[in-house]
Structure 1
Amino acid sequence: MTAKLGRILRFGLVGVLNTAVYYALYYLFQLALPYMVAHVTAFVLAMVGSYFMNCFFTFRTKPSWRTFLLFPLSNVTNFVVTSTGLWVLVRWFAVDQRIAPLLAAAVAIPFTFIVAQLVLTGRSKPVAPPIREEERTS
């Protein structure tokens, strides 16, 4: 298994666990709070857990204040997509508010991985291929 594939699989496992944590918190909070307040609160708490799981397990990096403060960037797209999706699914399509967040979350996963990887491991610039001699003279 390549390192990249292993990282993607670990990210998926963390995502499943993090989704379970989020959903459990959301379910509990929405018993006493409006569903959007429950969503935001559960999302923030799950994001903190996700940061540490992704540092230690997915990307195998040391947590730092810098990456902790930047990590929410990896969830901005996720948050916007899941929040909008939750609202649309509940309001427009009458999807049960206990199930809607799971459906909305599926769309944002690839974007979250890409940004999380950039934040936690740094950005590596691809090296341009060398220019062959015949390409220089044309």
Structure 2
Amino acid sequence: MTVRAQIVRFALVGAVNTATYYVLYLLLLALGLPYVAAHVVAFLLAMTGSFFLNCRFTYRTRPTWRKFLLFPLTNAANFVITTSGVWLLVDVAGFSSRWAPLLAAAAAVPVTFLVSRTIMLRPETPRAGGSLDRAVAAK
């Protein structure tokens, strides 16, 4: 698969991930969570779904425990950029807490793609953790 195809697929997964995040964020806000707590919880839940979508759809690689445990690194920069962006947009610039996460997310996309691609396509070592597929199938 070409890098261009991966970028397109990454963008599609990103759109699904963003929609998932945003729906969860609004739901958590409606349940009374402060906006930063709603952001963190929604982000973590959406990131888990993003891992599996990126494995299967974007990079066509098997999900492994190693990749799953490293995947949060792909979102570390995203998390810092979006969390800082949400705070700046809401508390400093006066934007609505409903729309700020969407604006903040756009700045983090290129960094997230590069780190994600590196982790997902890195060759596995023979002793690397087992496949998540086997772990799920064993249940």
What TM-score results when the alignment is normalised by the length of structure 2? Answer: 0.86
Aligned mates of 2:86, 2:53 — CA distance in 1:
25
- 1:8 alignment counterpart: 7
Q: CA deviation at 1:76?
A: 0.2
- 1:19 alignment counterpart: 18
Q: CA deviation at 1:3?
A: 1.0
The alignment partner of 1:33 has SS state of coil
Q: CA deviation at 1:49?
A: 0.3
Which amino acid is 1:103 matched to? L
Runs of 5+ consecutive residues of structure 2 not aligned to the other structure: 124-139
Aligned mates of 1:72, 1:30 — CA distance in 2:
24
Cα-Cα RMSD:
1.0
The alignment partner of 1:79 has SS state of helix
Which amino acid is 1:111 matched to? V
Alignment of 1:123-134 (within 5 A): none
The alignment partner of 1:61 has SS state of coil
- 1:33 alignment counterpart: 33
The alignment partner of 2:3 has SS state of helix
RCO comparison, higher one (Cα < 8 Å, 6+): 2
Q: CA deviation at 1:30?
A: 1.0
In the TM superposition, structure 1's runs of 4+ consecutive aligned residues that sit over 6 Å from their partners are: none
- 1:133 alignment counterpart: none
Aligned mates of 2:68, 2:86 — CA distance in 1:
26
- 1:106 alignment counterpart: 106
Q: Identity over aligned residues, as a percent? A: 53
Aligned mates of 1:74, 1:109 — CA distance in 2:
10
- 1:62 alignment counterpart: 62
- 1:82 alignment counterpart: 82
Over residues 23-44 of structure 1, what are the superposed CA-to-partner deviations in whole Å (9 max), with x where a residue is unaligned?
A: 0000000112000000000000
Aligned residue pairs: how many?
A: 122
Q: CA deviation at 1:119?
A: 0.6
The alignment partner of 1:71 has SS state of helix
Q: CA deviation at 1:65?
A: 0.4
What TM-score results when the alignment is normalised by the length of structure 1? Answer: 0.87
